[in-house]
Amino acid sequence: MSDASHLLRPGSFANKTAFVTGGGTGLGLAVATRMGRLGANVVCASRSLEHHEELLARGTSEGFEVMSAQLDVREPGDVKRVVREACERFGRIDVLINNAAGNFVRPAMLLAPKGFKAVIDIALNGVFYVSREVGRRMREGGGTIVNISAPYASTGKPGVVHSACAKAGVEAMTRSLASEWAQFGIRVNAVSPGPFVSKGAADRLWPSEEMEQQVLGQIPLGRFGTAEEVGELVCLLASDATPWVTGAVWLADGGWTLPQAMVEGDVARVVRRKPTDTPSEPTT
Ligand code: NAP
């Protein structure tokens, strides 16, 4: 596996404050840690303060500031308060990562309206509440926002209609806010990762060994992604290294969304043959 951690220069986020929703686990933890190591003050905002302990420990041992904030992104009043407190502590917010989400697998015919609404409330409405509040603060001086989507926002996928609808909305919000807020120097982009390893994903999306193997078999590059390599793309889009990128959705999925028929059975053996193998003769 190659190492993506050379993409950003040391100090890329020096003197900046990054607000990361769900920053205590999985992808959020990888992004928050990387930004802290690159010089940022980090606001870690989610419901469970226990989830922030690992990031707080890393901040203490590695010398970056972490503000642990209890926040349910579904509550606009809480969002307003936490954003205000973050600005009081660090002066401003330069970077927002809308990473918090909830998901589970349920066929649409068995999905209760309450379950559909719960996922939309966190993964779509919550992204709007936080973006709106932070965007109002970024209006003076600009900033960058990176939203976390998923490839099935555009392809669709069985069992996750709730999350697919939320993420499709997030991608529409990404483009709409990018166009509306460019005048304020605010860039808005999204990263759309395929299946990467996190406890949350493993518990909810591929809970059994059999399901894990099934998902793995759908990834042409032959492995799950890592939170760190997806996180590096998130950091790149949030950094000053991509000043002319806005309204973009960057896909990083190991080929998960490519047509799959060509990598099955005999064809797979041909496709995966080493380049040094003798080429087969044409049959006609
Ligand atoms: P994860 O570790 O379960 O992260 C989800 C985070 O969201 C948790 O830290 C959780 O913290 C926070 N959260 C949930 N509900 C919240 C709420 N109401 N208010 C505030 N925070 C809330 O999962 P992950 O795999 O790293 O997922 C991160 C992002 O990547 C998500 O947007 C997900 O949709 C996306 N994604 C993941 C995959 C994958 O294969 N892993 C693929 C495509 C997209 P608390 O419990 O403390 O609130």
Closest CA to 35 of 6, 64, 57: 64
| Lookup: tokens for 112 | 């209760």
Q: Return the percentage of the chain with pLDDT > 70, whole number.
A: 90
pLDDT band at 276 (very low <50, low <70, confident <90, very high): low
Q: What's the pLDDT score for residue 279?
A: 55
Q: Which residues contact 124 (CB under 8 A, 6 or more apart)?
A: 165, 166, 167, 169, 170, 173
For residue 48, the model assigns a pLDDT of 98
Q: Is the pLDDT of residue 68 over 90?
A: yes
Residue 281 has pLDDT above 70, yes or no: no
Q: Which residue type occupies 263?
A: V
Distance between CA atoms of residues 45 and 122, nearest Å? 13
Instruction: Pick the atom of ligand 1 nearest to 103's CA.
Output: 34
Q: Is the CB of 231 under 6 A from ligand 1?
A: no
- Whole-number pLDDT of residue 44: 98
Q: Whose CA is nearest to atom 20 of ligand 1?
A: 46
Q: Exposed, middle or buried: residue 278 (CB in 10 Å: 0-12, 13-18, 19+)?
A: exposed
Cβ(99) – ligand 1 distance below 6 Å? yes
pLDDT per residue over 14-43, tens digit each? 999 999 999 999 999 999 999 999 999 999
* Distance of alpha carbon 270 from alpha carbon 246, whole angstroms: 40
Specify the pLDDT at position 265: 54
pLDDT in tens, 1-15: 556 667 899 999 999
Nearest CA to ligand 1 atom 6: 22
CA of 255 to the centre of ligand 1 (A): 22
Q: What is the pLDDT of residue 21?
A: 98
How many angstroms separate the CA atoms of 140 and 92, rounded? 10
What pLDDT digit, counting tens, does each position of 95-152 carry? 999 999 999 999 999 999 999 999 999 999 999 999 999 999 999 999 999 999 999 9
> Which residue has the CA at smallest separation from atom 44 of ligand 1?
150
Residue 261 has pLDDT above 60, yes or no: no
User: Using a 6 Å cutoff on CB, does residue 46 contact ligand 1?
Assistant: yes
pLDDT confidence of residue 92: 97
Cα(271) to ligand 1 centroid in Å equals 35
56: pLDDT strictly greater than 70 = yes
Whole-number average pLDDT of the chain: 92
Q: Does residue 195 surpass a pLDDT of 80?
A: yes
Residue of 48, 70, 72, 99 with the most ligand 1 atoms within 8 Å of its CB, for mutation = 99
Q: Of 90, 152, 250, 256, which is the active-site residue? A: 152
Q: 126-138 vs 161-181: helix axis angle to the nearest 10?
A: 20
Reported as a pLDDT band with limits 50, 70 and 90, residue 252 is very high
Domain ranges within the chain, ordered by starting residue = 9-277
- 3-class DSSP string for the chain: CCCCCCCCCCCCCCCCEEEEECCCCHHHHHHHHHHHHCCCEEEEEECCHHHHHHHHHHHHHHCCCEEEEECCCCCHHHHHHHHHHHHHHHCCCCEEEECCCCCCCCCHHHCCHHHHHHHHHHHHHHHHHHHHHHHHHHCCCCEEEEEECCCHHHHCCCCCHHHHHHHHHHHHHHHHHHHHHHHHCEEEEEEEECCEECHHHHHHCCCCHHHHHHHHCCCCCCCCEEHHHHHHHHHHHHCCCCCCCCCCEEEECCCCCCCCHHHCHHHHHHHCCCCCCCCCCCCC
**pLDDT at residue 259 tops 70:** yes
Give the mutation target among 19, 21, 27, 249 for probing the ligand 1 site: most ligand atoms within 8 A of CB: 27
pLDDT in tens, 202-235: 887 888 889 899 999 999 999 999 999 999 999 9
At 6 the pLDDT is 73
Distance 226 CA to ligand 1 centre (A): 14
Q: 10 Å Cβ neighbour count for 231?
A: 28
Task: Tell me if residue 152 is catalytic.
Answer: yes
Q: How much of the chain, in percent, has pLDDT values that exceed 90?
A: 82
For position 96, what pLDDT does the model report?
A: 98
Record: fold of 9-277: Rossmann fold (3.40.50)
Q: Residue 262, Cβ neighbours under 10 Å: how many?
A: 11
Query: In which band, very low, low, confident or very high, does the pLDDT at 256 lie, cut at 50, 70 and 90?
Result: very high
pTM of the predicted protein model: 0.93
Contact, 53 vs 29, CB < 8 A? no
> How many angstroms separate the alpha carbon of residue 278 from the centre of ligand 1?
47
Q: How far is the CA of 130 from the centre of ligand 1 (A)?
A: 15
So what's the pLDDT on residue 274?
62
